């Protein structure tokens, strides 16, 4: 069931319940009033007849004649008068006799002074009447036809008003809920048309601060993010193909040229060397991409163990120097430490080493002296590593882009690379809940600061 229909029905049901309670109270109080008023009328009529009988000494026959003649046109009150000993002194019409009085009833009226009850629809009142020091019991009964008719007509009016109101409320509910949900229907229609091919479409917000425009704005912001991520995925794929195409084209050309005609041994060796260098570039690219994919995992999906950061830096240095003997790497401790935990983190050894290798290699390859220095500082449960070099530095306008995949700065001519090293390093550091930042001055050098929380602090 649609929310719109559900709301309309709920609204109608609530209003119907309120109306019903209201109608019940009105009808009930009208019925109560009728009964009370009729008892009062009965009592008056009883007293009037008793006065005529006792005071005015009108004889019984006359009173009975009046009763019988009135009965034909009016709903006349039937009165009976008894004395203390259940002796009938007067009765309007013994043959009709609606109220079957008993000695117990008369006693009860003597005791309590008054009695009111129903005999079918007829109301009966019994009361005491004093005349010349003696006490008599009068009973009076009549059917309040007029009152019952009024009640019946009130009941019909209430029922009619109730049905008409419910129909009007239901129709109004449907109309207003349709109006209220119209913007949602429009949004649904628009959202239905948005696919990967037209992610630039946006929902129209009415500009006000209501919940619906908030929803439209949030949805649009989500589309912005989706569009961005789609675009960067596309860029990423085209960058990868571009990075692979260049060395592959070089390898193919090199091998084709070698096969073209007979070459000298030296020429063959040179061709193989070039092809090998390009293949290494490809292998490095694919390794970097694989590492990037690993670093994009959730922390819970990768293997973690306590690692001493200083030992890992030593390992990384060894690996870098093995690949490039002219690179120089210095490791400095800024302060002493008492326990292994102070310099250890819970991390992934392979990924962290890859990050450190990237930072060492960058420092060395972008410096004339091929030298990179790392200082280790332990402070308030944090391990602060500063990878610095006295190299060519990074131009200011490049600083904000160097962590973007495949981005290579204006200084890229200085050394070979593929632009994956730093984004990969940043991902790895952030995966370990760390922070990486950079400060650089052209021709003076660069400092990458890595902040990691040690085992005691994480």
Residues in contact with ligand ADP by CB under 6 A are: 358, 362-363, 366, 389, 391-394, 398, 402, 408-409, 411-412, 417-422, 446
CB of 444 to ligand ADP, least distance (A): 11
Residue whose CB is less far from ligand ADP, 68 or 371: 371
Residue nearest to ligand ADP (CB): 417
CB of 363 to ligand ADP, least distance (A): 5
Residue whose CB is less far from ligand ADP, 402 or 428: 402
CA 358 to CA 335: how far, in whole Å? Answer: 25
CB of 257 to ligand ADP, least distance (A): 28
Nearest CA among 51, 125, 141 for reference residue 92 = 141
Nearest CA among 172, 120, 115 for reference residue 138 = 115
CB of 281 to ligand ADP, least distance (A): 10
CB of 425 to ligand ADP, least distance (A): 7
Q: Kindly state the tokens that stand for 110.
A: 């003597």
CB of 197 to ligand ADP, least distance (A): 32
Residue whose CB is less far from ligand ADP, 315 or 442: 442
Contacts of residue 371, defined as CB under 8 A and 6 or more positions apart, other chains included, come to 327, 328, 329, 330, 363, 364, 389, 390
CA 76 to CA 65: how far, in whole Å? Answer: 12
Residue whose CB is less far from ligand ADP, 55 or 368: 368
Nearest CA among 138, 91, 144, 137 for reference residue 119 = 144
CA 313 to CA 353: how far, in whole Å? Answer: 7
3-state secondary structure 326-362: CCEEEEEECCCCCCHHHHEEEECHHHHHHHHHHHHHH
Residue whose CB is less far from ligand ADP, 206 or 246: 246
Contacts of residue 4, defined as CB under 8 A and 6 or more positions apart, other chains included, come to 174, 177, 178, 181
Residue whose pair of structure tokens reads 């000298």 in the numeric block: 264
CB of 240 to ligand ADP, least distance (A): 14
Residue whose CB is less far from ligand ADP, 106 or 402: 402
CA 204 to CA 10: how far, in whole Å? Answer: 30
Residue whose CB is less far from ligand ADP, 419 or 434: 419
Residue whose CB is less far from ligand ADP, 147 or 421: 421
Nearest CA among 71, 113, 119, 127 for reference residue 95 = 71
CB of 390 to ligand ADP, least distance (A): 10
């Amino acid at each position: 069931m649609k929310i719109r229909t559900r709301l309309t029905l709920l609204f109608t049901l609530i209003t119907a319940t309120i109306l019903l309670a209201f109608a019940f109270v009105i009808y009930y109080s009208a019925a109560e009033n009728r009964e009370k008023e009729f008892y009062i009328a009965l009592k008056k009529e009883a007293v009037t007849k008793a006065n005529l009988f006792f005071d005015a000494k009108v004889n019984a026959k006359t009173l009975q004649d009046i009763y019988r003649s009135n009965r034909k046109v009016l709903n006349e009150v039937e009165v009976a008068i008894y004395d203390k000993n259940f002796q009938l002194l007067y009765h309007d019409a013994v043959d009709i006799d609606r109220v079957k009085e008993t000695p117990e009833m008369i006693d009860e009226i003597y005791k309590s002074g008054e009695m009111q009850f129903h005999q079918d629809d007829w109301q009966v009142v019994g009361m005491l009447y004093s005349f010349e020091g003696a006490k008599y019991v009068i009973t009076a009964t009549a059917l309040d036809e007029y009152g019952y008719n009024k009640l019946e007509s009130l009941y019909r009016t209430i029922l009619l008003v109730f049905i008409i109101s419910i129909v009007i409320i239901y129709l109004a509910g449907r109309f207003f809920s349709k109006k209220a949900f119209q913007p949602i229907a429009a949004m649904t229609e628009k959202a239905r048309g948005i696919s990967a091919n037209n992610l630039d479409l946006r929902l129209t917000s009415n500009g006000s601060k209501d919940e619906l425009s908030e929803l439209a704005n949030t949805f649009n912001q989500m589309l912005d993010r989706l569009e961005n991520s789609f675009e960067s995925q596309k860029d990423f794929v085209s960058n990868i193909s571009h990075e692979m195409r260049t060395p592959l084209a070089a390898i193919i050309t090199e091998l084709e040229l070698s096969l073209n005609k007979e070459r000298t041994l030296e020429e063959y060796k040179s061709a193989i060397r070039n092809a090998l260098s390009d293949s290494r570039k490809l292998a490095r690219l694919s390794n970097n991409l694989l590492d990037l994919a690993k670093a994009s995992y959730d922390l819970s999906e990768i293997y973690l163990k306590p690692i001493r950061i200083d030992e890992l830096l030593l390992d990384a240095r060894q690996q870098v120097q093995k690949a490039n003997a002219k690179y120089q790497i210095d490791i400095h401790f800024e302060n002493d430490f008492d326990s292994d935990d102070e310099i250890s983190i819970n991390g992934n050894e392979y990924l962290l080493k890859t990050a450190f290798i990237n930072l060492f290699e960058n420092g060395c390859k972008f410096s004339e002296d091929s030298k990179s220095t790392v200082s280790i500082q332990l402070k308030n449960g944090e391990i602060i590593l500063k990878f610095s070099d006295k190299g060519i530095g990074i131009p200011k306008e490049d600083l904000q882009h160097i962590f973007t995949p495949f981005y290579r700065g204006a200084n890229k001519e200085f050394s070979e690379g593929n632009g994956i090293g730093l984004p990969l390093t940043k991902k790895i550091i952030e995966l370990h809940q760390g922070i990486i930042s950079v400060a650089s001055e052209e021709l003076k050098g660069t400092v990458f600061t890595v902040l990691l929380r040690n085992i005691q602090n994480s």
